[in-house]
Structure 1
């Protein structure tokens, strides 16, 4: 292997590392945005209304 091939391989590896780091940062940002959107959706849900117990909805499990 000559020196130019080694330098070319090192440059290619360095460029790939930069590309991988950029892809990872984009993925992290996308996950953060999705987490924020999910939190906003959960906050927008109305609180459930309490249900009054009635004798019609009770199941006798001891019979």
Structure 2
């Protein structure tokens, strides 16, 4: 290996690392946006009305 091929390899590795870092940053940003949208959807759900107090107190064990 000569000096120019070593320098070229070093440059290629550095560019690959930068590309990986950019990819991870974009992925993290996409996950953050997805989390925000999921929280907005959950917050937009209507409240479930509670059942009357006489429901859910007895269990029918006969089949």
What's the TM-score bracket when you normalise by the shorter of the two chains? 0.7 to 0.9
The structure that is helix-richer by fraction is 1
C-alpha displacement of 1:38: 0.2
TM (norm. structure 1) is 0.86
Whole-angstrom CA distance in 1 between matches of 2:11 and 2:45: 52
TM-score computed with the length of structure 2 as normaliser = 0.86
Instruction: Point out 4+ residue stretches in structure 1 off by more than 2 angstroms.
Output: none
User: What residue number does 2:3 align with?
Assistant: 3
Paired residues in the alignment total 61
Q: Which runs of 5+ in 2 are unaligned?
A: none
Q: Which runs of 5+ in 1 are unaligned?
A: none
SS at match of 1:48: coil
Query: Residue 24 of structure 2 aligns with which residue?
Result: 24
